[in-house]
Amino acid sequence: MDDTKRKSFCYMALLGALSSCGGRQDVGSAQAYTVPLSPKEAPMVTVRQVMERDSLVGRRVRVGGVCAIAGTGPSTGVWVLQAGTWAIEVRGLVPHSCLKDPVGTEALTIFAQVVEGTDSTERLLLRLPE
């Protein structure tokens, strides 16, 4: 292969690699993942699914439940979303329903990113702006 063809081939390979670096990721035969930019684009999942499915780590989702506990003082911005017997820590904007008395009476759905906690079995939600 002459130098011009080799450079052209390398350039095309580089373009192909760069075009796959956007919001889509193809993993083997798994369906491509597009990063949701708004809540309406994100899939709806349960708190239980967030806790049990490793495939949701790093993904943006919508999760429903009620506010179970809201942080106060230095813990402001940390609260717990509960759905049935399942609960998960959320970091980010605390919903108004967490500040009402009694807490946990108003259903809500949040847009969040699923992340690992301090160990690989713990999950947290980072609440995203809606």
Q: Is the pLDDT of residue 19 over 60?
A: no
Residue 70: helix, strand or coil by DSSP? strand
Span 43-83, pLDDT tens digits: 999 999 999 999 999 999 999 999 998 887 667 789 999 99
In CATH, the number for domain 36-127 is: 2.40.50.200
What integer is the mean pLDDT of 31-52?
Answer: 91
Three-state secondary structure string covering 86-130:
EEEEEECCCCHHHCCCCCCCCEEEEEEEEEECCCCCCEEEEECCC
Q: Where in the chain are the domains?
A: 1-34, 36-127
- Predicted pLDDT of residue 56: 96
**What are the φ/ψ torsions at residue 4 (nearest 5 degrees)?**
-65, -45
Q: In the structure, what pLDDT confidence band is assigned to residue 30 with cuts at 50, 70 and 90?
A: low
